[in-house]
A and B are shown apart, each in its own frame.
Chain A
């Protein structure tokens, strides 16, 4: 591999890795507070993409509310993205209300939340299919405005290409990650969140309103998932109601590799998997699907707690 190709792969990997990261963060937030995987996260990802699409471009009857709005600078797209993500956040809250809270209140086996969230995912995906069919929807290429579709850097004969989408994805991801990182590591909220995560009943004994925190977390998680879905959607189109599923699984690989509950871990995991995929030699691209998992497997054997996860030292 020559230097130019290396650079190209690096850029591709970082861009897709940053989406993996924000998507995975949604998982990791819920995991860190409830200790359980939210299987509906992939469905929220899909939902976010459809919501943003129907706001920004519009079809299936209701949509395009913002599409024909005459606002300068293509403001309607960022607006759609934001509203789409907020609505996804609300969807996250609904998921909590339907699939998590009732179980918590009944003291069910925590693993059961895997099943109930899976049920919500099934409902969401099939309702989308019911309403809008399995067709593919694609964002028009000028959705970001009249920016050139790609930057092409010439290195003699060779070229390195950066697609506009990649830059936007990267920029949005970085902003979101920075905000979230600040929230969790530097505020009282973050500290309380960690307390709830470790032991909800002890946290409530300290005056922390556990239920409200869980609700916030699901909102944030849905927000991030929907945002990631919209970004991927603008980049590659919405490949039907099931398109979040593949990401759902990969997102899991990302957070476990990075270390469950760790925000820098999710970012690192996203980048590692994004890069690993980008650097799969073309001849072996058949095995690309397995790369994320092979990496995960190896990482876990070497560091059972994930790259940045805290090992659970327990004193007896």
Chain B
């Protein structure tokens, strides 16, 4: 297995606050990598740094050897890094199907005029985009509501649509920010199975932020723990679970 993502001393401060402080880690191709830590530890900020939404203060970040730091978000997405948002950010006024069609942007090439005159490539592409859209909605169980606008979905449904949208990007790496938030225990269980399934189906690498400990422990191959912006542990679920610093900061003594 080879390293697909590598962070080297990534840092980001807001005013005096060091939200992410010299964090280094590497994610292997094909693994499910968990990111946990107390509220405000800097997990979401780390995702934002990785996807270019927040500029880094210092440090570097590479994807298969390509420097990502300094690239605008759309270039990073184009390289194959898809994500979901903790505070849901769907295209609320558009239908579920349109949401998943839009994120196939980087995998298609039709330009303005090709689309207008309906060139052959554009027509073929259009068909493929539509098909893939339906396929993914089926996968997350929203196919029967494909033409409804996203704003009409309940919180949990919107979370699933977020995942669908990120998947439609056809990413190599999928960054999930609290995908299970707003789901009940049964739904969480099926989510675990779902993530495994898509990982295998699309040969993905998954990085996942989640507060639901059983889910993280059951799903992840390795886990990194952040606390006050610093990485305090990386390792297998068993190792992390036994780590006293992690217990102290996050898990609490059972």
Contacts and interface: CB of A to CB of B under 8 A. Distances in A.
Contact between chain A and chain B defined by CB under 8 Å = yes
A316 interface: yes
Interface of A is mostly: loop
Contacts of B53: 316
B142 to A, nearest CB: 23
A316 B85 CA distance: 7
A316 B84 CA distance: 10
| Interface band, chain A | under 10
Contacts of B48: 316
B242 interface: no
B17 to A, nearest CB: 13
Contacts of A316: 44, 48, 53-54, 85-87, 89
B48 to A, nearest CB: 6
Interface of B is mostly: loop
Contacts of B54: 316
A316 B178 CA distance: 13
B230 to A, nearest CB: 20
A300 B48 CA distance: 27
Nearest to B177: A316
Contacts of B44: 316
Contacts of B89: 316
B47 to A, nearest CB: 8
A316 B53 CA distance: 8
A312 B86 CA distance: 19
A316 B48 CA distance: 8
Interface of A: 316
Given A316-B53, A316-B89, 6 more contacts: A316-B44, A316-B48, A316-B54, A316-B85, A316-B86, A316-B87
8 contacts: A316-B44, A316-B48, A316-B53, A316-B54, A316-B85, A316-B86, A316-B87, A316-B89
Going nearest first, the 3 A-B pairs with the smallest beta carbon separation are: A316-B53, A316-B48, A316-B85
